[in-house]
Amino acid sequence: MNFRRAILATVVVVVGTSVLLAKDPPGVTVNKGTQSLGKVLGEPRFTVLNINDFLMWTRSDGYNNHTPADNSGGFYPRGTAGSIYLDSFVWGAKAYVDSAFTTEAADQVIRLGGGTYNIATRAGRILGTGASAVPEATDLANVRTYRVRRDYASMTQDELKRDASEILRIPIESVTDAQAADVYNQYDTDWKDWPVASGAPFIDRNNNSVFDATPAFSATFTVDSLVSQGKDEPGVAGADLNLPAGQVIWTVYNDLSPSLVNGFSGSLPMGIEIQKTTWGYKASGEIGSLYFQRIKMINKGGVVVNPTTGALGTLHYDSVFVCQWSDPDLGDFGDDIVGCDTVLNIGYVYNGQGRDVEYQKFGLKPPSVGYDFLAGPVIDGGDSAVVDLNLNLIHNTE
């Protein structure tokens, strides 16, 4: 696989069916103070996908399924035991100075990035390309996670309080009206400030390739009006634009920190910007037991191309490999077993026994959790292919 400009992959996390038993998050410390959403989340740096039966944490620098308290961050069923301790995305490639892949990078050929128990990336875009490419400052207000829920304007107080309890990791009865309002206000901010210009996806219902701002929600313009009136909206949809995802998280990060990359793998940076979209559907049944992630990797440069002079530029990458890495802890981690289905291309974890001490606390049998690549990397290749959930046809010329 060549990496001339950008590659894109889609991953789905699937779980075995189980009975949802809604409870307060397990193992939390009761906080009866007035903790605010902003103090916990930063810009916010962390947020959760919690639109259906699977709750997962994500962080602005690419970490997934891990809480701010350094604990398991993937929960299924939502509100019960942890199922994933941590996961992330890993990639590697051979670096060349030229696009013909004839001259290897002088200082290091094999390069590796991503994250496992530590991470090689930092939040923010890469501004510019080639020799002028630089990482975006991480302390900017826009360098954060963005989370939209298309029905946020009609969420009930109970829904807002449950959302706040999961983000703040406190029992729902401890959530104040002010904390619930913080959740609403963050949804409203992210909906209005959705960073389309930075690469965040949107549903283009009038097919003009431009994001036309959504009208303000009101008594006469509701979430149903988005479809009935053919309005653009932040987020993603499949081939049917009338069936959009219920909740979408977007973040962008990069590998232009030599110290982070070296600490992760002993590698030099590759000059890669990663745009990650995570989404789920407000549904029950099978579709309500999974979530999707799309990873877009863009080769922007800003790395040393001549070690002698220190000149910066863009390297070219061949033999690119990507990997969904995970440390699943299905309830009690001591009896987990992993496996794979080579026909369905799913890697999964299940319990070695018919019961699990953590899930027993909720009166449940342990589920199983798996990962599946729905779409592999998309690259420039001189042909045409359907490459995204909107069935868009991309003509490759290189």
CA 199 to mean position of chain CA atoms: 14
> What's the pLDDT at 1?
53
Amino acid at 308: T
Q: Which residue ranges in the chain fall short of pLDDT 50? A: 4, 16-34, 39-42, 384-398
Cβ proximity of 272 and 113 under 8 Å: yes
Start-to-end CA distance of the chain, whole Å, equals 13
| Residue 244: C-alpha distances to residues 151, 167, 233, 235, 237 (Å) | 11, 24, 9, 7, 4
Q: Quick: pLDDT tens for 232-288.
A: 999 999 889 999 999 999 999 999 999 999 999 999 999 999 999 999 999 999 999
Q: What is the DSSP secondary structure assignment for residue 191, as one 8-state letter? A: H
> What tokens does 2 get?
């060549």
> What gap in Å lies between CA 74 and CA 54, rounded to an integer?
7
Q: At what angle do helices 157-168 and 177-192 cross, to 10 degrees?
A: 90
Q: What is the DSSP secondary structure assignment for residue 172, as one 8-state letter? A: G
Cβ proximity of 50 and 150 under 8 Å: no
pTM for this predicted structure? 0.88
Long-range contacts of 184-190 (CB under 8 A, 24+ apart): 184/152, 184/155, 184/160, 186/37, 186/41, 186/44, 186/147, 187/147, 187/148, 187/149, 187/152, 187/155, 188/152, 188/153, 190/146, 190/147, 190/148, 190/234
> What gap in Å lies between CA 187 and CA 149, rounded to an integer?
7
> What gap in Å lies between CA 335 and CA 12, rounded to an integer?
24
> What's the pLDDT at 22?
28
Amino acid at 182: D
Residue corresponding to tokens 């982070």? 260
Nearest residue to 183 via CA among 198, 167, 194, 195: 167
> What's the pLDDT at 43?
72
